[in-house]
Amino acid sequence: MDHPIPTDTLRWIVFLPLIGAIINGLLGAIIQKKMGKGAISFIACTPVVIAFGISVSVFFQLKGLNPEQRFLIDNLYSWITLGSLKVDMAFLADPLSTVMILVVTGIGGLIHIYAIGYMHDDKAFWRFFAYLNLFTAAMLTLVLGDSLLLMFVGWEGVGLCSYALIGFWYQDHNNARAGNKAFIVNRVGDFGFVLGMFLLFWSLDAQGHGTLTFREIAKWASTLQGQMIWGVPVVTLATLFLFVGATGKSAQIPLHVWLPDAMAGPTPVSALIHAATMVTAGVYMIARLGFLFAMSPATLHVVAVIAAATALFAATIAVTQNDIKKVLAYSTVSQLGYMFVAMGVGAYAQGVFHLVTHAFFKACLFLGAGSVIHAMGGEQDMTKMGGLRKHMPRTFITYLLATLAIMGFPGTAGFFSKDGILEEAYGRGGTGLWLAGLCGAGLTAFYMWRQVFMTFFGESRADEHTKHHLHESPGVMTWPLVVLAVGAFPVGMFGLPAFLGHHLFVEWLEPVFGHGHGEAAHLSHETAVLLTVISVVVALAGFGLAYLMYYRKTLAPERFSALAGGLFYRLSYNKYYIDEIYQAIFVNGTLLLARIGSLFDQYVIDGIVDGSASLTRFISWLNGLFDNYIIDGIVNAVANITFWIGNRFRRLQTGNINSYLYGILIAVVVAIIVKLRYWS
């Protein structure tokens, strides 16, 4: 770890999609007009596919090294040198980030290809792919960034692209609003991230090791032990702030509200950003800083509790939603909760493993839902679907496989990863966490099968026109589905539970998390098997319930929705009124604050300004009076006196020559007399 191997391939993983984004973003409109949509999709997809190729080669390069040496760094240049703050523009590839770039470029690439079909009729085809590539580049920056700051650049970049893509069809005001909501809610989280980053740098700097590079932080983290700020350990505070950032990006309570609304974006976006990659950024960040979180049991406890609550809470909402994408959105929130549970109990490797498998099957589900929506002519309401099994077999089969995976059917990827988390939750966190996870798992099975039955089975409830147009999606859309659904199986095999064999995935991540963190909980064989059996039984129970209610229809859903006077149903259906509560408290609160501010402005500030203006005017008025009466008075008086004197004297000038001559005569006589009398 201390001697990373320099390389210069990593930069291209980030730069290639960026180049694609720049070309399509700047020239896309022209290219699309001159050369057609094919050229656009070629420019957009090729870089991602090549980046995937590079990622694979990086993976094999790492694999060929000793586990202790698996650390590549691509240092481009020194980015910031400011006092003790030194940040390099550097990308790092260790086992953890390699897993992430494989997911981002691999699944991202498939979604790019899928989007060619899905977005084919859109006029702003080029804009979509420019955003998508930009997002990929930002996500890869986030993942490969060698320092917290560079990670933050990616963090903000994905937030921006997420905003742009949620509001992609901005002509509809609701979509633009959803984009705003996502952006603003994320901003709250980002604020936490920034605070955490500052606090970390500041307290490390106080020890003389100011740095933001992960490697350096890891090296000096121990110096933070025992440091306090306001009576709280610095590590706890910093990790809590960072966790706030993670709740924003990864849609955990209480900042989960933006993700369901984010479904306003095109479906490939939901699959790529709001299921497979961006929302897992929080999980990745905690995994990356796992050593730091491990130093603060308090933070881990908070993480675990919030995560378990999210996992259960989101699942209860998902069971009553009718919008096919909303169900998947809440499912995503819930599954992210599982990942955070793993983080919270310190089972980082398990969490990241679930992240990977979830990326596969959730992307598959979203793309499948997209395929369904495509076939239904934009309809997203499941109550108007049904019977699609016959019309779109390929979508149906892949959807089924992904559903099996997410419910944790034995042998599927979801089984291994989710079960691993539940085991860890039981072994390290306690029964409470495990129970919450278990209930969530049962609900997951229920709502996913409810969705499958409502969408693909039974009689079609669509209108005649839609029915007539039902068709399987083109190959460019279905093949990615097949790859994702089938590809999930071998991925799952990397994470065989301890009692079945080697957990390859945990082993692979060991150099990053170390033995202490990556180690599985010490459960006896029997307990582990028992836990697995219980979770499978619960999942099957969820399936059974859905089967009875939505396939056989022997059990009317109304019997449950009417429980307690429909209270639970209404709570769940209306998402616990959280949006309304936020609206009432934060949005209206902000508006109220703004109104108070406006009143303050209007009366106090304006009053002061107007008052000072009036005062000035009054003083000017006084001044004017002084001028008018005193100054002008003096001047006028002088003038008047002069005038008066002149008036008196003008009589002298009669114009009569005789009188002048008399005057002269008298004057001469007087002069002579005076002369004779006084000067002689």
- Give the footprint of other proteins on this chain (CB under 8 A): 650, 653-658, 661-662, 665
Tell me the three-class secondary structure of 144-166, residue by residue.
HECEHHHHHHHHHHHHHHHHHHH
Q: How far is the CB of 654 from other proteins (least distance, A)?
A: 6
CB nearer to other proteins: give 621 or 662: 662
**Distances from the Cα of 334 to the Cα of 52, 308, 318, 328, 444, angstroms:** 28, 9, 9, 10, 8
Residues 6+ apart with CB under 8 A from 666: none
CB nearer to other proteins: give 661 or 674: 661
Q: How far is the CB of 652 from other proteins (least distance, A)?
A: 10
In contact, 95 and 125? CB cutoff 8 Å: no
CB nearer to other proteins: give 619 or 661: 661
Among candidate residues 107, 67, 81, 57, the one with its CA nearest the CA of residue 364: 107
CB nearer to other proteins: give 665 or 670: 665
* Cα separation, 478 vs 172, whole angstroms: 28
Please report where in the chains the tokens 């980015």 appear, as a residue: 79
CA 131 to chain centre: 15
Q: How far is the CB of 671 from other proteins (least distance, A)?
A: 16
- State which amino acid sits at residue 541: A
* Cα separation, 438 vs 408, whole angstroms: 11
Among candidate residues 31, 668, 609, the one with its CA nearest the CA of residue 617: 609
* Cα separation, 358 vs 613, whole angstroms: 66
Paired with 6 in beta bridges are: 73
CB nearer to other proteins: give 620 or 654: 654
CB nearer to other proteins: give 81 or 654: 654
CB nearer to other proteins: give 563 or 665: 665
Token code pair at residue 567: 């209270």
* Cα separation, 435 vs 423, whole angstroms: 11
**Distances from the Cα of 599 to the Cα of 455, 583, 589, angstroms:** 53, 22, 15
Q: How far is the CB of 658 from other proteins (least distance, A)?
A: 6
Identify whether 474 is preceded by a cis peptide bond (ω within 30 of 0): no
CB nearer to other proteins: give 82 or 652: 652
Q: How far is the CB of 651 from other proteins (least distance, A)?
A: 9
In contact, 459 and 386? CB cutoff 8 Å: yes
Q: How far is the CB of 645 from other proteins (least distance, A)?
A: 14
CB nearer to other proteins: give 468 or 650: 650
Q: How far is the CB of 657 from other proteins (least distance, A)?
A: 5
